[in-house]
Amino acid sequence: MSEFGRRIGYSEKVIEHFMNPRNIGKLEDADATAIVGSVACGDLIKFYIKVDPETDRITDIRFESYGCASNIATSSMTTVMAKGKTLEEAKKITFKQVAEALGGLPKTKMHCAVLSITGLHAVIMKYEAKIGRIPIDEHFVRRMLRGVLDPLKGVDVITAGEVENVKVDGKEITRRFSLPREDEAASIIEEEVREAFQGLDVRLSLIFS
């Protein structure tokens, strides 16, 4: 693997983090979770975090990944860089810093570092919404929906143009989708939407055309 990795432009650190990823696996008592990615590009990541409410530090962070070697390596490095930091410090980690910490990435794989940082920011955002630090408004709802994929199109429901309307009224969130209820993807999307908002004190009303 090492020789093959070098041929296609992977550094030794990328290969090492792919072969021996840090912080991988489900975190059962996570304070928040978030999913980012697309099966269309073959990269999907779920992040879990545990935060000390007194210090605002990330005491534990894990990930599960469906994707290529770069996807796994960048997610691994992102968790290493975020663990032990305060939320504000973790928000400042950039995809370029992740790539540099791995000794560089092929240009065609830089999007994996971007995706990992997007996931980190998403899980922090969800945690902050959960504790009431940021509002659960239309912007927040649409951000969470970017982690919900249409299994047939392979892209998130926002990019696919399937979210016709989002309404937030207190703790009531209403979303109207362009998909008919009988569409084979509708039940899967509904399940993923409910998972995306799991742990938040909200009521979901999902309407399919």
Q: What is the pLDDT of residue 7?
A: 52
pLDDT in the model for residue 148: 85
CB burial string 62-77: b at 16+ within 10 A, e below: bbbbebebbbbbbbbb
Q: Which residue has the higher pLDDT, 37 or 3?
A: 37
**Distance, CA of 10 to CA of 5 (rounded, Å):** 5
- Which residues are CB-neighbours of 205 under 8 A, at least 6 positions away? 172, 173, 174, 175
Out of 1-15, 47-61, 130-144, pick the least confident: 1-15
Q: How far apart are alpha carbons 144 and 196 in whole angstroms?
A: 6
This prediction has a pTM of 0.86
According to the model, what pLDDT value does residue 147 have?
A: 81
What tokens does 83 get?
């663990």
Higher pLDDT, 16 or 155: 16
Q: In Å, what is the CA distance from 61 to each residue of 14, 73, 91, 177, 208? A: 19, 15, 14, 33, 35
Domain residue limits at 185: 138-208
CATH number at residue 180: 3.30.300.130
Instruction: Name the DSSP letter for residue 24.
Output: B
In the residue annotation, 68 being an active-site residue is answered as no
pLDDT of residue 24: 96
Q: Which of 24, 39, 41, 188 is catalytic?
A: 41
Number of domains in the chain: 2
How many degrees, rounded to 5, is the angle at CA 157 between CA 190 and CA 39? 95
How far is residue 76's CA from residue 17's CA, in Å, rounded to a whole number? 6
Active site residue 112: yes
Distance CA 77, CA 143 (A): 23
| Segment 62-96, tens digit of pLDDT | 999 988 889 999 999 999 999 999 999 999 999 99
Check if the beta carbon of residue 44 is closer than 8 Å to that of residue 122: no
DSSP state of 86: B
The Cα 7–Cα 42 span in angstroms is 21
Pairing status of strand 163-169 against strand 172-177: antiparallel
42 confidence band (pLDDT: 50, 70, 90): low
95, 117 Cβ separation under 8 angstroms = yes
Return the higher-pLDDT residue of 36 and 135: 135
List pLDDT tens digits, range 148-193: 878 778 778 898 899 999 999 999 999 999 999 998 888 888 988 9
The reply to whether 119 and 170 lie within a common domain is no
> Band of the pLDDT at 4, cuts 50, 70, 90?
very low
72 and 143 inside one domain: no
Indicate if 43 and 6 belong to the same structural domain.
yes
Are 31 and 126 members of one domain?
Answer: yes
Helix axes 69-82, 110-130, angle to 10 degrees: 40
Domain boundary residue, one of 130, 163, 182: 130
Domain stop point among 70, 101, 130: 130
Catalytic residue among 14, 73, 82, 112: 112
pLDDT of residue 166: 94
Q: How many whole angstroms separate alpha carbon 108 and alpha carbon 13?
A: 17
Q: What three-state secondary structure class fits 143? A: helix
